[in-house]
Amino acid sequence: MSIELILGGARSGKSRLAETRAAASGAPVVVIATAEALDGEMAERIRRHRAERPAGWRTVEAPRALAAALRAEAAPERWLIVDCLTLWLANLLDGAERLPPGADADALPQLKAERDALLAALPTLPGHVVLVANEVGLGLVPDTPLGRLFRDEAGRLNQRVAALADTVTFVAAGLPLALKGG
């Protein structure tokens, strides 16, 4: 059993790295996708991603119940790719715009429950789990409270997953940089 976190910016090559490592393993692969097709452009992105994956890989949609999907799909000798934690977090921030100023995401019961379930499940899963996430803390400070909450919660989530991970890799311009392990 191992946990790997791959971080990077948008279009940095992080998903490609996860897929390359999984393909090289020769093991069965399940992609746990967190994106939702809420508009035509996102539907096309999802379609394109599915078409680019090897034919034998399965895709499981888990826009919110990620821990349950991981527990259902994890198995010895199987690779799970979660793509991506950042979209999953965004899905769970529904209602955050109504939080009082300065509140954190723990005030959102579904987000707290799902995040805590994920963090509890990860160390117990058999097989190899690769989690892909955006590093959103390298840019400008968002100009809205919701944007700042998202950035802060994404950073906190990445830190907590990195602490559990055996390997953490940062990807920029398609080039991987080992941060932990590996």
pTM: 0.94
Q: Name the residue with tokens 């979209």.
A: 87
Q: 104 Cβ partners below 8 Å, 6+ apart? A: 149, 152, 153
Per-domain boundaries in the chain: 2-180
Q: Which residues are catalytic?
A: 49
Residue 147 assigned to a binding site: no
Task: Report how far residue 20's alpha carbon sits from residue 22's, in angstroms, rounded to the nearest whole number.
Answer: 5
Convert the pLDDT of each residue in 16-73 to its tens digit.
999 999 999 999 999 999 999 889 998 998 888 888 899 999 999 999 999 999 999 9
Residue 34 assigned to a binding site: yes
Task: Report how far residue 51's alpha carbon sits from residue 47's, in angstroms, rounded to the nearest whole number.
Answer: 6
- Cα distances from 48 to residues 16, 22, 87, 159, in angstroms, run 13, 19, 17, 30
Does residue 81 contact residue 53 with C-beta atoms inside 8 Å? no
Convert the pLDDT of each residue in 133-175 to its tens digit.
999 988 889 998 889 899 999 999 999 999 999 999 999 999 9
* Residue 89: pLDDT over 90: yes
Residue 9 assigned to a binding site: yes
Please give the CATH superfamily to which domain 2-180 belongs: P-loop containing nucleotide triphosphate hydrolases (3.40.50.300)
Residue 14 assigned to a binding site: yes
Instruction: Give CA angle at 89 (44, 5), nearest 5°.
Output: 90
